[in-house]
Amino acid sequence: MNSHKKWMSVVGLTTLLLALLLAGCSDRDSSSDGGKTEIVLSGWGGNPVEQKLLNEVIADFEKEHPNIDVKLNVISDQYMDVLKTRLIGGTAADVFYLDAFEAPALIETGAVAPLDKYITEDFDLGDFEEPMLDAFKADGKVYGLPKDYSTLALFYNKKMFKEAGIDGPPQTWEEMEDTAKKLTKAEEGVYGLGVMPELARLYYMAESQGGEVITDGRATFAEEKVVDGIQPIIDMHLKEKTAVQPSEVGAGDAGEMFGQGKAAMVMEGNWNIPFLEETFPDLEYGTAELPTINGKKGTMAFTVGYAMNAESEHKKESWELISYLTSKKGMKKWTSKGFALPTRKSVAEELGYDEDELRAPLVQGAEYATVWQDGPSLPIVMNNFNNQFLSAYLGDRPLDEALKDAQRQANKEIKVTE
């Protein structure tokens, strides 16, 4: 699951469309074979285990639906650009992956079909984690069903904690700051907290003091409450010198930094568990829910759903595929190896993830998580925020000043007058 794809407006896709159409680029083949209906499912490539599981679920579906053939089309690069170009040209798949981050803008174009008329009571929408399901709703309608998700949890190095005489993970942000001080050994290149200085990880913190990153489609992240919410990250890096980003310790990402023992704690997602098992099998670590801020729990959630092409000629069959993939049976197989967490609560319980030593904190965070999505303008807001927040994180300028410039530029691009 990738939550950091760039948005490109539909207007700006004309040249892309021309190029791809000239290249004969298409994922659709509307022909039917021997009375069977072929439907196309588009997605991006996952790791080999996930790909194998998806192929198995599709094979199971075809056995139970002998009148339907499913063609899996993998778009390995520039997924959203290619998908939107094909949607404009009428060559897109019947069913496709849709990241929650991208959902509002694509739904707004009319390219995604609402699913409400297909959803029956026995499908049990109430079984889905509510924040994940809400991520694919607009104007009271359901435009996608979440296939999986990950929240953020606190990964902590048990050996380092023991050596520092710390009993367990911090419960509050104040405890986090104190714990990070005790664990930092700058002379050895070890820091208490590893951070990814980007909006996708900090959004819940930005709104923890009652401020809003986006209000009615316009950027409002320079307001005092938002600045106050994320100032602690800046202070831990510049004043306390207990927090670092991966590049500062020669690591590629937070998971690698944690695995190498250069950060005693990181705030990472479910994807980090199989990575650590494979790359750092001897690492002694645990997970916990993120520390509370002002007594309130918070975390981020990243989710991807299955959506239906509004122009599909096979909507009935497309719904049958979507409903099977997101049914308890289909979802159980797809998430059985723990690479992704099931969005159905019953499946998480059946697989034991709600009681799993490492995954339980991630599952517990689902009900109160802030989903990485906030309307069509979020991609513009993200780009401008990240550019200027990094300058503040590195100490080049004060945070409030940096965010004012970023907000001004974001609203200029959104075409909002300050």
Tens-digit pLDDT profile for residues 107-134: 999 999 999 999 999 999 999 999 999 9
- Can you tell me whether residue 220 is helix, strand or coil? coil
Section 49-64 average pLDDT:
92
Section 267-286 average pLDDT:
96
| pLDDT at 303 > cutoff 50 | yes
Section 346-366 average pLDDT:
97
- Can you tell me whether residue 373 is helix, strand or coil? coil
* Rounded Cα distance, 244 and 237, in Å: 6
pLDDT band at 281 (very low <50, low <70, confident <90, very high): very high
**Residue 403, both tokens:** 């965010």
Q: Write down the H helix ranges in 298-395.
A: 315-325, 328-334, 345-350, 360-364, 378-393
Section 260-270 average pLDDT:
97
pLDDT band at 272 (very low <50, low <70, confident <90, very high): very high
* Rounded Cα distance, 156 and 17, in Å: 47
Q: Are strands 95-99 and 214-215 parallel, antiparallel or unpaired?
A: unpaired
Which of 280-312 are b and which e, b meaning 16 or more Cβ less than 10 Å from the residue's Cβ?
beebebbbbbbbbbeeeebbbbbbbbbbbbbeb
Instruction: Tabulate helix, strand, coil % of the chain (nearest 5).
Output: 45, 20, 35
Contacts of 194 (CB under 8 A, 6+ apart): 243, 244, 245, 246, 249, 251, 254, 257, 258, 262, 263, 265, 266
In this predicted structure, what is the pLDDT of residue 47?
Answer: 79
In this predicted structure, what is the pLDDT of residue 340?
Answer: 87
In this predicted structure, what is the pLDDT of residue 156?
Answer: 98
* Rounded Cα distance, 379 and 165, in Å: 43
Annotated domain spans of the chain: 11-150+302-371, 152-300+375-414
In this predicted structure, what is the pLDDT of residue 20?
Answer: 38
- Can you tell me whether residue 233 is helix, strand or coil? helix
* Rounded Cα distance, 165 and 183, in Å: 10
Strand pairing partners for 75?
none
* Rounded Cα distance, 257 and 245, in Å: 9
| pLDDT at 171 > cutoff 60 | yes
* Residue 387, Cβ density class (10 Å: 0-12 exposed, 13-18 middle, ≥19 buried): middle
**Each residue's pLDDT tens digit, 9-35:** 333 333 333 333 333 344 544 444 568
* Rounded Cα distance, 385 and 403, in Å: 7
Contacts of 416 (CB under 8 A, 6+ apart): 217, 218, 219
Q: What's CA 74's distance to the chain center, in Å?
A: 19
- To 5 degrees, how large is the angle CA 45–CA 346–CA 170? 80
Contacts of 28 (CB under 8 A, 6+ apart): 40, 86, 91, 92, 93, 94
Max CA separation in the chain (angstroms): 71
pLDDT band at 172 (very low <50, low <70, confident <90, very high): very high
Domain 11-150+302-371 matches domain 152-300+375-414 at the CATH topology level: yes
In this predicted structure, what is the pLDDT of residue 260?
Answer: 98
* Rounded Cα distance, 235 and 250, in Å: 22
CATH fold for the domain made of 152-300+375-414: D-Maltodextrin-Binding Protein; domain 2 (3.40.190)
Tokens 């991609």 locate to 379
Q: Does domain 11-150+302-371 have CATH number 3.40.190.10?
A: yes
> Distances in Å between the alpha carbon of 3 and those of 51, 333, 413?
18, 23, 22
Element holding 264 (H helix, E strand): strand 263-269
